[in-house]
Structure 1
Amino acid sequence: MRTFDFIIVGSGSAGSVVAERLSASGRYSVLVLEAGGSDRKFFVQMPLGYGKTFYDKSVNWMYRAEPDAGLGGNADYWPRGKVLGGSSSINAMVYVRGAKEDYDEWRDRGNPGWGYADVLPVFKTLEDHDGPAKSLGRGGPLHVTDCSKLFHPLANQILKAAQEAGLTYNPDFNGKTQEGTGPFQLTTKGGRRMSAARAFLRPAMKRANVTVLTGAMVQRLTFEGKRVTGVEFTRNGRSETVKAGREVILCGGSVNSPQLLELSGIGEAARLQELGIPVVHGNAHVGEHLQDHLGINYTYRANVASLNQVLRPWWGKMLVGIEYLLLCTGPLSISMNQGGGFFRTDPSQSRPNMQLYFQAFSTVRPKVGERPILTPDPWPGFSIGLSNCRPTSTGSIHIRSSDPLAAPRIMPNAFSTNHDVAEMLDAVKFLRKIAATPTLSKLIVEELLPGPDCQSDEALIDDFRRRSGTVYHPVSTCRMGPDPAQSVVDPRLRVHGVDGLRVVDCSIFPNIISGNTNAAAMMIGAKGASLILEDHA
């Protein structure tokens, strides 16, 4: 049985950072176990390639949530990265830290060291920004690109219309305020995706004290009493056990970290006993408190050119493909979400509660079996999307059986509170306000989705229930908190009730943040690694 000082389960946004930080001194041996394969694939490295990886089972877990009454009975699709870099290798690359108030709320819930003043320096050590914004760090491993010079002309028109609708221009959502509208900052460099694997794990893999095993499906944790001693996993059809001399660190994200805890006997006792899993430590909060941002697009046919005319026809794909192969520039080198912003549905609110996304392309509802993200419309079109920043609805993620290969049961409970329904109703009405501005109204031929017949509050609610879905930011299923009776990990990310085990990923969020979660996941990886190193100094 091989022994490593630290075993990291999962090489995603947090796990890649943890591996780099723990191995940097050379004092500790580090093993990273990744169920997926290599990130050295063309459509992983090409930024717009996530239109392909969105449905590629070789790099994607391709989960499906349970039918949800809040989504009109739909079973939402949940892509999650199954590859080196995890979801940072298949995401839309938008880099948003979150609002100051989000982290201050974490601190005020009994988690010292997690306020904004504490985490901001951690963010800055990660970042290497190439633009004029002064808020982001420079010289870190993670390159962040200012995409304002790469804007499609139609995206610029949407940006102008949002300002006509009352939003201010904001060139930096990671600056003094999130509120306003402007270009997004993206995790790209030189026209290639800057995933956590590229920024952190690949450099760490050059060190002699780092071992990375791909295709390693972790089955369960091993214990001596209530101390975690290692993990069991399968690889290439063989079962193996490795021992952790110091700690095992779960970085599987909000789906796979609670899944592995439950498979290993940490969770609600009655649930585990029903599935025939011996209980190591009973904790009913494992897999609970799931929060996620829900999004919807309003889609329009335009009378000016959009990316549809480039990305749909074979000759257009050929031209942009040649440009990308030769120069690493053009539409394939950036995200579909080139810009957006944050706004308040109620001016009396203290801060924004909704996020905008501008897309200079369109895709109407697909036919059965058709993959919508791969098939732009044959006419010029665009979409304006939004998602809620701080939903109050909560769901759960739990195992269905003792089989590690069985996908867990994901129950989002979307729009299960009146608060979430009311603010989404106000938000979609604001989308139409943007579309009605002088700038956009003259470019719009017709509203395709939901369409002009959708007018009453009841019709709008029915529409966003049926068409909304995850924007891939699940959090809080291994919630952090000081009270073992209310949380899964303590403020140092140690799992309550057992020794030698931590969770370091987005599942530890005490509550969801405002905006995309990839930046926060990497920050958690860096801060978590610092806590681990302090405890083993």
Structure 2
Amino acid sequence: MPIYPLPQPIIDQAFDYVVVGAGTSGLSLAARLAEDRNVSVLVLEAGGDHTGDNSVEIPAQYGSTFTNPKYDWAFKTVKQKHSNNHESFWPRGKGLGGSSGMNFFCWIKPPAYDIDAFEKLGNPGWNWASFEEYSKKSETFHPVVEEIANNFPQTYNPKSLGTSGPIQVTVPLQAHTVDIIFQDALAAKGVKTVEDPYGGDTTGIFVAANSVDPRTWKRSYAATGYLDPNQERPNLHILMGAYATRIIWSDEKDNEGNLIATGIEYIHGEEKKVASASREVILSAGAVKSPQILELSGIGRKDVLAKAGVDLKLELPGVGENVQEHNYVWVIYELDTTKHDHQTLDLMFDPGYIEASLKLHAEGKGLHRLGMSTFAFLPLSSRDPAATKTLIDVLEKDLNSKKESGEVSPSLAKQYDIQLSALRDDSLPDMEFIVFPGYFGARESQGAGRRFLSIVGALNHPISRGYIHIKNDNPLDNPEIDANYFGNNFDLKVLLEHVKYIRSLSDTEPFKAHCIKEAYPGPSVSSDEDVENYIKDSHVTTYHTVGSCSMLPREDAGVVDPKLKVYGTKNVRVVDISIVPIQVAAHLQTTAYVIGEKAADIIKAEGA
């Protein structure tokens, strides 16, 4: 597998497939396409190669690569008018592996209901059965090692997990004392343990796997899992430092009037160059960059392109629309260290601890194996069923009014009907809670010997929809991102319910006995209005943007069809999580791999 710098004759040749973006979906797709030695694949990647970089590969360093331009695109939203003019920072992976090289390792599969919704919205074959097939193809699940299992019992069904895929997956080391405190408190509230969290039912509480290889206790991600085994393939090429700008179109159209792509323009060093594609151009640049490249290529909303000074090639109003993003808030409690020596990430601030822990990691030991472990996915009614019913009734009335006025389109109404149905079903999750073993977001010690437990509450099914659009015709400028956080007030009320549920744990044993006090946001934030302002000021993206190139029928503002082909084009596809038409209650890593794997089979079948 030739990797940049490529010889000039290689750069100048035409490839069967040119893939833009060596991220989670892009690398999985490219590696699978290259299994056919009769085709040639070129992957263009704006970033570099981070394989072997400890900042990427060693766990328990959450967010350490954020804002560093070597690893991170470091996008920002515009000021959010429904969120106290809060600007949200959107880190996204740059370099081989994309965001799979900077995420928080969570290996979580969505509820079957959420994936089946793709099919309900007009995408035959995009259902839970297919998702399960491809997620198992992408993973090798390693049984929990004895050291971890002895401290904390695990629940999973091996039948729901893959045994021979490129990504190595296992249950990580846990700060098991805080996991037990949280799990026992939820059990006291009647929350069930999920026996098979990878089988399509995630409602309840469970310890989640991480994308970590227990043989090395290092990150397993697209660059190591999908590329390393393919180093010798002469038909797979990776060109790094290649910043894609726009699709190059033929002057001719096909017999059905579709645009024909002939390649991709990209910037390499100071030069503009073109990578020629004889079969297909495939955008795997992510939910921010893929719509940007389409718009710079003349595909999108007429008004957006006209304002940006880009000639319209194809009007496709859904490009950059229907954007949905998870976001979260957190509550932090100080732990009573007289009862347990809690092994939390707060230890990392002790002088000399990190150096000693890294040495242990090299021996397969120590706290640098610590992962994100306990998750709870609960119905919205978990805290107060009566209040929830009222909240959903108000939402439904609001949406019906907007449907009648035309503010909500018939296409979006179909999505909202699915969301409302899920909200009223107490077997389905709408709230997510994550145990973070330490003072979340700390950049310095909170005091020697002090230990903390942070509970993160995440909004999984936003009602609000945003957009991502180019501002001008300069490809080096990031697009304008408006998540429209709390554009529908229901989303704010749902996060308020998350905070209230977390705070209710302080009156629940054994949580009550082990936590000294709420350290953040603290007792001064008490009324609903106080909490809502805290949420508006403090909420953070969960790095799960979807929808900007939605897989929907064209009449429903779709951008790609069920074969991921861009409407109105003969040979352009989008293969990344931007195609997800409606948000799911899960972290998106597994979904991104599924999209890459499934797309490869779709493309191979068409080329056979």
Counterpart-to-counterpart distance in 2, 1:328 and 1:87: 25
Secondary structure at the residue paired with 1:68? coil
Structure 1 residues 207 and 308: alpha-carbon distance in aligned structure 2, compared to 1, 3 A threshold: closer
Q: Distance in 1 between matches of 2:195 and 2:270?
A: 51
Q: For residues 351-430 of structure 1, what are the structure 2 equivalents within 5 Å?
A: 351-363=428-440, 372=441, 374-378=443-447, 379-430=450-501
Deviations 1:143-165 (A, max 9, x none): 11123x54442232222222223
Is the alpha carbon distance of 1:205 and 1:279 closer, same or farther for their aligned partners in structure 2, counting shifts above 3 Å?
A: farther
> Which residue in 1 is equivalent to 2:248?
222
Alignment partner of 1:146 is 2:182: no
**Which residue in 2 is equivalent to 1:367?**
none
1:508 counterpart residue number:
579
Q: State the partner residue of 2:510.
A: 439
Displacement, 1:422? 2.4
- After superposition, what is the alpha-carbon deviation per residue over 1:234-292, rounded to whole angstroms, capped at 9, x for unaligned? 11222211110100100011001001111111111122122221111111211011001
CA distance in 1, matches of 2:43, 2:59: 25
Q: What is aligned with 1:18?
A: 29
Distance in 1 of aligned mates of 2:201 and 2:264 = 43
- Once the two structures are superposed, residues 420-460 of structure 1 have per-residue CA deviations (whole angstroms, 9 ceiling, x without a partner) of 12222222111112232121112222212221132222222
The residue aligned with 1:468 is: 539
Gaps spanning 5+ residues in structure 1: where?
Answer: 364-371
Does the residue aligned with 1:346 lie in a helix, a strand or coil? helix
Q: Is 1:48 equivalent to 2:73 in the alignment?
A: no
Offset from partner CA, 1:34-71 (integer Å, 9 cap, x none):
10000221111112234321232101001111111233
Q: Secondary structure at the match of 1:426?
A: helix
SS at the partner of 1:47? coil
Which one of the candidate residues 301, 304, 308 is aligned to 1:275?
A: 308
- The one-letter code of the counterpart of 2:597 is A
1:315 equivalent in structure 2: 352
After TM superposition, give the deviation of residue 177 of structure 1 in Å: 1.7
For 1:71, the equivalent position in structure 2 comes to: 83
Residue 306 (structure 1) shift: 4.7
Equivalent position amino acid for 2:63 in 1: G
Cα contact 2:346–2:452 (8 A) shared by 1: no
Equivalent in the alignment of 2:289: 256
Contact between 2:110 and 2:200, CA under 8 Å: does it hold in 1?
no
Could you say which residue in structure 1 is the equivalent of 2:367?
331
Number of the residue aligned with 1:247: 280
Distance 1:309 1:358 in 2: 14
**In the alignment, which residue of structure 2 is the partner of 1:127?**
139
| Cα distance in 2 between the residues matched to 1:182 and 1:376 | 30
- Counterpart for residue 369 of structure 1: none
Percent identical: 30
Task: Give how far 1:377 is off.
Answer: 2.7
User: Which of 402, 425, 428 is residue 349 of structure 1 equivalent to?
Assistant: 425
Q: Does 1:199 align with 2:225?
A: yes
Is contact 2:329-2:495 (8 Å) kept?
no
Q: Does the CA contact (< 8 Å) of 1:484 and 1:496 recur in 2?
A: no
* Structure 2 equivalent of residue 173 of structure 1: 197
Alignment-mate amino acid for residue 333 of structure 1 = R
- Give the CA deviation at 1:390: 1.0
Residue from 267, 287, 290 that aligns with 1:234: 267
Cα separation, partners in 2 of 1:494 and 1:476, compared to 1, 3 Å: same
Amino acid paired to 2:177? P
Equivalent in the alignment of 2:397: none
- Alpha carbons of structure 1 residues 394 and 329: separation in structure 2 relative to 1, 3 Å: farther
Rounded to whole Å, the distance in 1 between the matches of 2:445 and 2:501 is: 25
CA displacement 1:113-134 (0-9 Å, x = unmatched): 1011222111111121112532
Corresponding residue for residue 86 of structure 1: 98
For residues 284 and 231 of structure 2, the distance between their equivalents in structure 1, rounded to whole angstroms, comes to 17
Partner residue of 2:319 out of 266, 271, 286: 286
Q: Deviation per CA, 1:479-507: give whole Å up to 9, x if none.
A: 00122552100111000112210001100
| 1:297 aligned partner | 330
1:308 CA displacement: 4.5
The corresponding residue for 1:366 is none
Q: Distance in 1 between matches of 2:485 and 2:605?
A: 39
CA pair 69-171 structure 1, distance change in 2 beyond 3 A? farther
Q: How many residues align?
A: 526
- Other structure's SS at 1:167 match: coil
Distance in 1 (alpha carbons) for counterparts of 2:364 and 2:270: 39
2:178 is paired with a residue whose SS is helix
Helix, strand or coil at the partner of 1:69? coil
Q: Which shifted more, 120-129 or 85-94?
A: 120-129
Is 1:105 matched up with 2:114? no
Residues 173-194 of structure 1 deviation map (CA, whole Å, 9 limit, x = unaligned): 2135201112111001020001
Q: TM-score, normalising length from structure 2?
A: 0.84
Q: Residue type of the partner of 1:526?
A: E
User: 2:605 is matched with which residue?
Assistant: 534
Name the SS of the counterpart of 1:327 in structure 2.
Answer: coil
Gaps spanning 5+ residues in structure 2: where?
1-11, 144-155, 252-258, 383-423
Rounded to whole Å, the distance in 2 between the matches of 1:383 and 1:485 is 41
CA 1:194–1:74 in structure 2 vs 1: closer, same or farther (change >3 Å)?
same
Equivalent of 1:162, from 161, 178, 186? 186
Work out the CA distance in 1 between the residues paired with 2:364 and 2:298. Answer: 48
Q: Is the 8 A contact 2:140 2:169 kept in 1?
A: yes
SS of the residue corresponding to residue 319 of structure 1 reads helix
Could you report, residue by residue, the CA deviation over 1:329-349 in whole angstroms, capped at 9, with x for unpaired residues? 3221233x2221211121553
User: Residues 161 and 435 of structure 1 are in contact (CA less than 8 Å); yes or no, is this contact kept in structure 2?
Assistant: no
- Whole-angstrom distance in 2 between the partners of 1:376 and 1:224: 59
CA distance in 2 between counterparts of 1:437 and 1:328 reads 36
Structure 1 pair 309–96 and aligned structure 2 pair: CA distance change class (3 A): closer
Where 1:52 maps in the other structure, the secondary structure is coil
Q: Distance in 1 between matches of 2:556 and 2:66?
A: 38
Relative to structure 1, the CA distance from residue 224 to residue 376 in structure 2 (aligned partners, 3 Å threshold; closer, same or farther) is: farther
* 3-state DSSP of counterpart to 1:31: strand
Is the CA contact (8 Å cut-off) linking 1:71 and 1:469 kept in structure 2?
no
Cα RMSD (Å): 1.6
**Runs of at least 4 residues of structure 1 off by over 3 A?**
149-152, 372-376
Shift of 1:73: 1.4
